[in-house]
Structure 1
Amino acid sequence: MKTLFPILFILVAGGILFGFINPTWSEIKVLREEEEKYNSALDRSRLLQETRDQLLSRYNTFSPAELARLEKFLPDNVDNVRLILDIDSIAGRYGMRIRDVILSSDTSRTDLGQLGPDENRFDSRILSFSVTGSYTEFRAFLEDLEQSLRLVDVMKITFSSTDSGVYDYSLSIKTYWLKP
């Protein structure tokens, strides 16, 4: 009997260890790992909030006029009508009007071998149009177009002459905007 109680206590202790403590301990380990993940996510969210606050304070340092200029330089949406009106306004300064306006997608950026989402942060369109004027007026128009706030690349220029010294110019320009 003296040896029976210690053996019985050892068996009961082993049963409690393997039947209750070990599964509970495993659950505690899983919960601690989960807690670490949540704490890590909270730390990252605090860092993101700090970064957001810093960027917001930097954004608020810009004046409304500077923000309007930035929006005109690289808009966050495609505003074809505004672009055409801006270019027509520039051409109007030199007695020219744009005509034969054609808006098309930028096919040079299409990559048929690309799989997955497009990682570019901007998109572009090609705007083709014609103007009529003297060479001097056209050069001044191009200089103003170059100096304008709207980001455009002149892709192609063709011209034809007339007997009166006035030329017909056809232009293709590429314009950009930020993707949402």
Structure 2
Amino acid sequence: MALNVVLYEPEIPANTGNIGRTCMATGTRLHLIEPLGFRLGEKELRRAGMDYWDQLDVTRYADYEEFLEKNPGAKIYMATTKGPRAYTEVHFEPDCYLMFGKESAGIPEEILHDNKETSMRIPMLPGTRSLNLSNSVAIVVYEALRQNEFSNMELTGHLRNYDWD
């Protein structure tokens, strides 16, 4: 199983760093669609991603069209506050792409309009603008992993000085 997270024009380095760490912890590939609102070498990005950033499977694209060209036939689910269904109503394939928009504006409506059948939302109380981007990514990634039985993931933890017996 190899999920893919796609960030459309991310603006805040700390969010992208946190998302990178989530991707490392879950074996998820990260795709960044430019323009980015920061340089990838910024200390905030590395701090949030900790020492994992250099090990991350990350690909950058000049724009959305290049992303589509280089990933033909990809099943792309669009996470948006404008989505017609909850993310829990979606069946995620093991190698699907989970796309999230930039912090200030989300995914452009013309892209969403063309992808109604794969657009989804995280339920929130009325009047709530949105969740933090890195939190949204974690919520949806872990639902996709749960649906695929956490393939290749460690499911139990261990105490250092005791047994769980």
Shorter-normalised TM range: under 0.3
More helix by share: 1
TM-score when scaled to structure 1? 0.18
Which structure has the larger Rg over C-alpha atoms? 1
Identify the structure with bigger relative contact order (alpha carbons < 8 Å, sequence gap 6+): 2
